[in-house]
Amino acid sequence: MDSSNTPSTSTRAAGSKELARKDDSTRYSDAALTPPVDVVEDSGGITLFADLPGVSRDKLSLQVASDTLTIEAESGLSIPEGLESSHTEVGLGRFRRVFTLSKELDTNAISAELSQGVLKLRIPKAQHAQPRRIEIQAA
């Protein structure tokens, strides 16, 4: 891939071959924060935890297209009426992160939970990628 036109990088989390990060700033012109994400892999799939402080369910968008998972969200944090901010460290309330998913993952069976600013996505392995026990017949 030509890195001069598209700033794409791939990273593997926790030794996982199932998920790769894909920065795709050419398609999305609005500035956004990249939420920190932890990925935990087990024999049944992966669990992804994304920190999205101040985000409510109605301001969260999860999309899977082909092998790409996109997380987009807007924070509901605002300054109360009548008050004025004298210092703002994070003025941007928009989050975006894009991942490339392995073909070994079942994108039709993704489950998502949002609790106290943490998004939990469970992506199981596809049936063909699941470990299975082979029964030995007596001769």
Note whether residue 71 is domain-resident.
yes
**CATH number, domain containing residue 96:** 2.60.40.790
φ, ψ of residue 129 to 5 degrees: the values are: -100, -5
CB-CB neighbours of 70 under 10 Å: 17
Note whether residue 48 is domain-resident.
yes
Question: What are the pLDDT digits (tens) for 26-80?
Answer: 444 468 889 999 999 998 999 999 999 889 999 999 999 989 999 999 987 677 8
All residues at 6 or more sequence positions from 20 whose CB lies less than 8 Å from its CB, including other chains: 10, 11, 12, 99, 100, 102
Note whether residue 9 is domain-resident.
no
Total domain count, the chain: 1
Higher per-residue pLDDT: 81 or 63: 63
Note whether residue 113 is domain-resident.
yes
Note whether residue 136 is domain-resident.
no
Question: What are the pLDDT digits (tens) for 98-115?
Answer: 999 999 999 999 999 999
Q: What angle do CA 109, 130, 101 make, to 5 degrees?
A: 50
pLDDT value, residue 14: 39
Note whether residue 134 is domain-resident.
no
Note whether residue 51 is domain-resident.
yes
Note whether residue 135 is domain-resident.
no
Verdict on whether the full-model pTM lies above 0.75? no
* CB contact at 8 A, 94 and 31: yes
Residue 77, helix vs strand vs coil: coil
What is the domain extent for residue 28? 19-78+91-129
